[in-house]
Amino acid sequence: LNMNSKIEDVEIIEIPRVHDERGLLAVIEGNTIPFDIKRVYYLYDVPSDAFRGGHAHKELNQLIIPLSGSFDVHIKDGDNTRIINLNKPHKGLLIVPGIWREIDNFSSGCVCLVLASAEYNEEDYIRKYSDFLAFKNS
C-alpha cells in the first residue's frame, strides 16, 4: 500500500504526437506512461452537473485523458487539495495510489478516457473520504 502519496506525486504526462496535413496522431506505447495498461474505460454523455470519482485507490495507477472536451479533476492527499482542468487530448493526468479524486464540470460532448494499471477490483477502492483520511493517518 502506498498511502504516503502527496499532491506533488500527481503529474501531467505529455502524450507524444505525430502531425501532418491529415491531422494529429497521439501515441501511447512502451514507456509513455509509468505502468502497464491492464484496463481501459471511458466516460461519455456525462451531464454537465454530474460528479464522478469520489474515491481513492490503494494500489491502482491511472492516467486520465480528455479525448474530447474538458473537465476538472479535484485531487486531495489528506492535507492539500488541487483542481486540475484537463482540456487537451495530448495531456493526461497521472494519478498514483493514495490520492482522492473527484471529477466534475464536464463540457458538452466530453469524452474522458482512463488507462488503469490493473483490472477492476472493488477491494482496491476507498469510497468514503473519512475512511481515506483514516488510511492516510494510520
| Dihedral of alpha carbons 115, 121, 122, 128, sign | negative
Of the candidates 55, 57, 74, 90, the residue annotated as catalytic is: 55
Closest C-alpha among 127, 103, 107, 124 to residue 38: 124
55 classed as catalytic: yes
**Burial tier of 26 (Cβ tally within 10 Å: 0-12, 13-18, 19+):** middle
Helix, strand or coil for residue 128? coil
Annotated catalytic residues are 55
